[in-house]
Amino acid sequence: MTRCVRLDLRIAPAVLATALAAAVTGAAVASSATASRADAGRAVTVRCTEILKAADVTNGGVAGTGHCTISGAIDDKGKATDYRRQIANKALIRRVVVGRNGTITFLITIHLGTGGEPPWSVISGSGRYRGLRGKGREVVDDFSATPATFVMKGAVSG
């Protein structure tokens, strides 16, 4: 009987350590999941003014250049370059914004002739924006103005 008690006393610290490790790991996972949910959906607004080329660019070349200001979850501003590609009735705008803290590349998908607010997504980021994800809508698309003005609203995470 004494041997069993001694064996139990030797096992008890190992069992306690394993249980404690499992509890700490579970709390860390729960905390990480909560933090990820808190980071998801941080509102962002991107306001751009650009000078567009006279003719619509359809081959992926530069369609316009200008300046963007990003506010909300991100506070940055810098030069913007739009690259436009057209496939059938869809225009794909790759808007590259080079700010103080890095570069963010947005993809805006415009279904020509349908109206509405085109969706955008973040397709890449560098510097502080590495790993950034996001999506939203382009709520102002005044491409006929000089300079043209664009406003994108949505949410980012990462």
- How far is CA 117 from each of CA 7, 10, 124, rounded to the nearest angstrom? 71, 67, 22
Return the pLDDT at 139. Answer: 96
Strand partners, 72: 44
**How wide is the angle at C-alpha 93 spanned by C-alphas 53 and 63, nearest 5°?**
15
Q: Which two tokens stand for residue 64?
A: 């316009």
Output the six-digit token pair for 122: 């973040």
Model confidence band, residue 40 (pLDDT cutoffs 50, 70, 90)? low
Q: Using CA atoms, how far apart are residues 18 and 123, in angstroms rounded to an integer? A: 42
CA angle (101, 62, 81) in 5-degree steps: 20
CA distances to 97, 117, 129 from 52, rounded to whole Å, are 15, 20, 26
Q: What's the average model confidence in pLDDT over 56-83?
A: 97
Strands 148-157 and 42-52: antiparallel
How confident is the prediction for the chain on average, in pLDDT?
81
Can you read off the two tokens belonging to residue 15?
A: 């069992």
Q: What is the pLDDT of residues 70-103, one digit of tens each?
A: 999 999 999 999 999 999 999 999 999 999 999 9
